[in-house]
Amino acid sequence: MLKLIMFLIVFVSSLSRSSANFLEQNPGNLNVEIQSQNFEDDYEWLHKYQYDLTYASKKFQNFHVVTSEAGLKFLSKRFKINQVSLKENFLMMAPDGDYQSPDDVNQWANELAKLYPEFVHLESIGKSLEGRDLWAIRISDDQDANPNEPSVIFNALHHAREVMTVEVIMDIATWILENHTNNDQAEKWLKSLQIYLIPMVNPDGSNKVWTGNSMWRKNVRDGHGVDINRNYPYKWNTCNGSSSSTYAQDYRGPSAASEPETQVMMAFIKKAKPSFSISFHSYGEMVIYPFGCRDNRTPPEMGVEKMGKEMAATIGYSPGTSWELLYDVDGGDIDWLFAEAGVIPFVIEVSPRTDGFQPSFAKRDPLVTKVRSAWQYLLGRFDRAGINVSSSKSGRLEILKKQNVRWKTVYSVSTNEQLKFYPLESGNYKIKFRALSSDTESKNVVETFQIKDNTTVKYHF
């Protein structure tokens, strides 16, 4: 009897492994919408069998997957199938030709720099796995990066198939540059901020989308690829928010920050030291803020969730953490940005769920026009309540808010010569700074200040 039980365990286990291996290596050309009865359990099941999960919604209790006929048959044993659609030559068909390939982005960036040489400053911030440039476009009236102005970063295309996100980045650039002479806000942002745009974090994956597989998501590591947005080091591989399977769409990589694209982004963030960041993804119409692992949240005193909800309201999107709206995510960029780089970051998932990753290009202009309100909200946040802090030496900064008779820490971060903006709510505050130096001037500097309405104060240490 014991031998029979052991045989059955091994047999069932082998069936599970073979099903998973078959499904992960045969993605197919069917778009399938499935209805969930138990969202958490169903997500775990889909993740276990390495389905290409393209969309998930706790609100609607459903999932979208791309799979094969065999995968559909396997799904139907567990789920109610809402809809199945076939895209002819799905894996070989490129997106609408008006979207941007890596070569198109290179050409556009260089032409923009020639058209606006006084405001557009183009820099290759590093190379992809296959040696393509990752471009950063700095929009500012300063010829060189100005450490006395706060910075913000907008990036797109961590995931190669999300082609609409590049269009959003392009629209940010063109709108500011074309309107700075007739729009007071555009002029102010151009003159008071360092705005960095990274239109394509994953150019190798994008090239694969255009030349071989329109649904490719990851970079191109060893043929199977690594999900760059599961490869950042903070909480990497900690909450079942990524996969160890090389064929999975959310494969996290062999180690934290193993990929050159991840390393380039981290190095650039540390150099630019932005106050805010938006990573554009698609699809689902959501504004997502840290953290990605279940039951983890940013401190309420920092107002990150409040900002995310206000931003979402400007465009009618759903706000929340990824674990509230979708599923657990570990190794994502916004968690690393917040926890280790001191940035207030957001993800915006553009496009409605009915459009998918690569809608007709005819939907481009209405979408980027709608999304403007979100990134403009974030740029406008520099003009609202907060504090600008800079220092002539590297040091440790702490900002505390008075709550009744106690002082509660709001920010505790490292700082240096780059001016940085910290958003605050109305109230009484204390700021502490200690230079990282052994000289006699390294004692604590303590100042008190008050924030009212949209007051912005400035300190230099």
The number of folded domains in the chain is 3
Confidence (pLDDT) at 394: 86
Confidence (pLDDT) at 443: 64
40 is a catalytic site residue = no
Please identify, among 60, 86, 112, the residue that sits at the C-terminal boundary of a domain.
Answer: 86
Residue 87 pLDDT grade (very low, low, confident, very high; cuts 50, 70, 90): low
Q: Which helix (H) or strand (E) holds 117?
A: none
For residue 54, the domain's CATH number is 3.30.70.80
Residue 128 lies inside a defined structural domain of this protein: yes
Looking at the fold, whether 285 and 411 belong to one and the same domain comes out as no
Q: Residue 306, class by beta-carbon neighbours within 10 Å (0-12 exposed, 13-18 middle, 19+ buried)? A: middle
Residue 205 lies inside a defined structural domain of this protein: yes
Q: What is the pLDDT of residues 224-236, one digit of tens each?
A: 999 999 999 999 9
Looking at the fold, whether 280 and 143 belong to one and the same domain comes out as yes
What gap in Å lies between CA 169 and CA 135, rounded to an integer?
12
For residue 390, the domain's CATH number is 2.60.40.180
Looking at the fold, whether 291 and 354 belong to one and the same domain comes out as yes
Residue 97 lies inside a defined structural domain of this protein: no
Looking at the fold, whether 377 and 391 belong to one and the same domain comes out as no
Looking at the fold, whether 203 and 338 belong to one and the same domain comes out as yes
Cα-based distances in Å from 217 to 93, 110, 277, 295, 455: 15, 26, 22, 27, 43
Model's pTM, two decimal places? 0.90
Region for 90 from its dihedrals, namely left if φ exceeds 0, alpha if ψ lies in -120 to 50, beta otherwise: alpha
Nearest Cα neighbor of 138 from 128, 124, 126 is: 124
For residue 241, the domain's CATH number is 3.40.630.10
Secondary structure (DSSP) of 35-79: E-SSHHHHHHHHHHTT-EEEEEETTTTEEEEEE-HHHHHHHHTTS
Please identify, among 86, 112, 139, the residue that sits at the C-terminal boundary of a domain.
Answer: 86
Residue 95 lies inside a defined structural domain of this protein: no
What gap in Å lies between CA 103 and CA 110, rounded to an integer?
11
What gap in Å lies between CA 166 and CA 265, rounded to an integer?
16
What gap in Å lies between CA 71 and CA 313, rounded to an integer?
38
Region for 322 from its dihedrals, namely left if φ exceeds 0, alpha if ψ lies in -120 to 50, beta otherwise: alpha
Looking at the fold, whether 390 and 370 belong to one and the same domain comes out as no
Looking at the fold, whether 13 and 121 belong to one and the same domain comes out as no
Which residue type sits at 90?
F
What gap in Å lies between CA 392 and CA 399, rounded to an integer?
18
- Residue 13 belongs to domain spanning: 2-86
Residue 280 lies inside a defined structural domain of this protein: yes
Bridge-based pairing state of the strands 386-390 and 52-57: unpaired
Query: Span 227-246, mean pLDDT?
Result: 96
Please identify, among 25, 56, 86, the residue that sits at the C-terminal boundary of a domain.
Answer: 86
Looking at the fold, whether 234 and 329 belong to one and the same domain comes out as yes
Averaged pLDDT score across all residues of the chain: 90
Residue 262 lies inside a defined structural domain of this protein: yes
Residue 18 pLDDT grade (very low, low, confident, very high; cuts 50, 70, 90): very low
What gap in Å lies between CA 202 and CA 205, rounded to an integer?
5
Looking at the fold, whether 374 and 391 belong to one and the same domain comes out as no
Looking at the fold, whether 378 and 315 belong to one and the same domain comes out as yes
- Residue with more model confidence, 414 or 305: 305
Looking at the fold, whether 270 and 177 belong to one and the same domain comes out as yes
Q: Which helix (H) or strand (E) holds 21?
A: helix 2-25
Number of helices and strands in the chain (H, E): 12, 19
Q: What is the pLDDT of residues 146-203, one digit of tens each?
A: 999 999 999 999 999 999 999 999 999 999 999 999 999 999 999 999 999 999 999 9
Residue 93 lies inside a defined structural domain of this protein: no
What gap in Å lies between CA 290 and CA 297, rounded to an integer?
6
Looking at the fold, whether 276 and 261 belong to one and the same domain comes out as yes
Residue of 24, 162, 285, 349 marked catalytic: 349
Residue 215 lies inside a defined structural domain of this protein: yes
Answer whether residue 13 shows pLDDT above 70: no
